[in-house]
Structures are given as C-alpha cells and as structure tokens.
Amino acid sequence: MIYMSPTNHTKNSCNFRALLFLAIYSTATALLALPSISDAGEFVFVPNMTTDLIFTDNVRLAPKGDPAKEADFVTRLVPGIYTKYTSRRFQSEIDYRLINVVFQSASEQNRTLHNLDAKNRAELLEDFLFVDANVRMQQINRSLLGPQGDDVNLTGNLSNIRQYSVSPYVRRRFGDLATGEARYARIMTDSDSSTTFFNSQTNSYTGSILS
C-alpha cells in the first residue's frame, strides 16, 4: 500500500494561488487577444508519465560514520502535461509535472511536489501593447552549507519556490530607423522556508531604443 502523508495547507494554498494565477491570466489574455478565424493558432498537448525506482544507501545524505545514515527504496511517480499554443497575437507554453515521492522505509516522509514552468505572451493592441506573464514552481536547496540533495533525499534542506511575474509593455516602430520599448515588470516570489527565502515583491521599469 502506498501512503501519502497529509500535505501542509499553507503549501496547498500557495500552490493553488500559482495555478489560479496562471489559469486567470491565460484565459483573460486569450479572450483579449482572440485571433480571427483566418488567424487560427496551433495547439499542442502532450501528456507524459515517468516512473523511477531508486535504491540509495544514504537517503539522508548523512556524513560518513553518522548514525543517521540509512538506506531506502524510493519510488518516484511523475505524471505531467506539456501544452503549447501559438497564434499571431498569443503564445503560451506550459510544462507541468506532479512529482509523487514514496519512501519504502520512511513512509511518513512521502510527499507530493509541483514543478511548473509557464510562459505566456499576448499582443493586446496590434503592434503596440503587449503583456508577458510567467509562473514558475520548483524545488531548490535553501542553504549551500547543508546537504545538496534532490526530491528523493531527506535532507531537510529542500524548499518549494514559487515565482509569478507580469510585464505589460508598449513597443513602437519608427519606420526603418529604430524601435522603442517601455516596460513595467512586477515580480513576486514566495517560499515554504521563512528562515531563508523571504517573500519578495519587485517592481522594475525599463526603456530602450534600438536602431
């Protein structure tokens, strides 16, 4: 029997917010930039599934001689989807994986992780107003001084990172002389680890003229 331990509600809330942000943005921009029938887009949908059975003699990456060192069999079940939509005024690419990690001995540490890389771009006003929106969810080691493991290790050093960004911008061509662009970007980052990765919000303004 495979037992998956209860998932932290705070993590669920953050993960849900990331997926909701992606769904709302994709729907809104697709409607605003809805192409005409003569400008039909191309849609690709690829479901995928990977399964790994791993044996490790040091699942916690404990130092040599440490009594915490222990072996375990780890099963990783990773269903996922890849989608890509391309039209003249809207492009979207989403790569999502649901990572389920099952430990034979340390079953209380079974976990489900989300890995998402989503990129969207819409042309709201033809040749003038654009918006980019990206969502990323991944797992990284929060401390360079701790054990550098991945999702099949029990190091206590792995954190879930979520990043959202929205960037509207205007672009204007000045004949064959130059192209000007003015961009605003809002980037929000949060993590499960309050001790290392603090919530952050960044605003940036950039402008350029290229000949």
State the DSSP H helix or E strand holding residue 43, giving kind and residue range, or none if neither.
strand 42-56
Residue 83 pLDDT > 90: yes
Q: Is 10 helix (H, G, I), strand (E, B) or coil?
A: helix
Better pLDDT: 96 or 15: 96
**What's the pTM?**
0.80
Count the Cβ atoms, other than its own, within 10 Å of residue 202: 10
Better pLDDT: 16 or 84: 84
Q: In what order do the strands lie in the sheet with 90-103?
A: 42-56, 72-86, 90-103, 111-125, 129-141, 158-174, 178-191, 200-210
Residue 13 pLDDT > 70: no
- Encode pLDDT of 91-120 as tens digits: 999 999 999 999 999 999 999 999 999 999
